[in-house]
Each structure stands twice: as C-alpha cells, then as structure tokens.
Amino acid sequence: MSRALGLAGIGIGVAELVAPNWLSEQLGIEPRPILLRAMGAREVASGLGITLRRNPTPGQWTRVLGDVIDVALLGFALRESWRRPVVLGVLGAVLAIGALDWITARRL
C-alpha cells in the first residue's frame, strides 16, 4: 500500500510541477504557480522517499503531513473558488487518501 501511495504521490506531484496554471483553472482559483509547484515538489519528494528507500516509514509520514497542508490550502481555495463543487470533490479525495496515508503510516 505504501508503494502505491508513493507512486500516486509522484504522479500528482508531477502534474502540479508541470501544469500549475491548468490545475488552478480546474479549481477555479487564481493561478499560484509557485505554491502549486512547491506542493508538487513535496509530493514527488515524499513519493521518492517511499519508493526508493528500504524503510518507507519517514516518507509515508511526510505524506500524512502533506495531506494536512493540502486540506488547509483547499479550505482557503474553497473560500475563493468559483468552482466550489470541484474543490469539495478534491477535498473529499484528499481526506480519503489522507486516511489511507495515516493508516499505512501507523502500520509501518
């Protein structure tokens, strides 16, 4: 499970790194490429920490902390978005994945 979550994080992170303006448009918020690229770099780093290391536990806990940050930032996005249903959907997905991240980190 940890490896699958790490690979998913790498994929999400690459999307944030290469298409931050498109992602902002999908969320209905002002473009914030520096913020989205920083979030993408964090996702890629934690994913690599999970998939390339013998002990994935530290990388898995960075995913949990990243989920907390993502939920907070999506809360801000919800206030300004003109596409609130999309942001709510993403928020729900992050909460679900965050639960999997936390359960997996605890089991490691």
What is the 3-state composition of the chain as percent helix, strand, coil, each rounded to the nearest 5? 85, 0, 15
Distance, CA of 70 to CA of 95 (rounded, Å): 9
- The string of pLDDT tens digits covering residues 71-103 is 999 999 999 999 999 999 999 999 999 999 999
Longest Cα–Cα distance of the chain, Å, equals: 44
pLDDT at 14: 98
The dihedral formed by the CA atoms of 64, 70, 100 and 58, expressed in degrees to the nearest 10: -20
pTM of the predicted structure, to 2 decimals: 0.90
